[in-house]
Amino acid sequence: MEVSESGYYAWKNREPSQHGREDARLSAQIQQIFLEHRQLYGSPRIHAVLKERGIACSRKRVARLMQQLGLSAQTKPSRKPTTTS
């Protein structure tokens, strides 16, 4: 891997960054909102709920965290109109 041993262990034992801690806190809130709304909300709606609650973050950040958590909104089944024959 062409990385020094000391550099590897320094990285491995390093504390999580502030951004990483904020992502973890935000991920928990995203998961809670997702479950509260019966797994129907995607990133734009979850972002709107977070904004209402006074939590500032971008929609793209919400989308990235949702993807990392494996959360995706359930889509409505397509409805085919029936015609008389």
Cα 49 to Cα 44: distance, rounded to the nearest angstrom: 9
DSSP state of 82: P
Residue 76: predicted pLDDT: 82
Residues 6 or more apart whose CB falls under 8 angstroms from that of 34 comprise 41, 46, 66, 71
- Is a pLDDT exceeding 90 seen at residue 80? no
Residue 83: predicted pLDDT: 80
Q: For the residues 3-10, what does the mean pLDDT come to?
A: 94
The predicted model scores a pTM of 0.80
Q: Parse the chain into domains and list their residue ranges.
A: 18-69
pLDDT digits (tens, 9 = 90+) for 12-69: 999 999 999 999 999 999 999 999 999 999 999 999 999 999 999 999 999 999 999 9
Residue 6: predicted pLDDT: 95
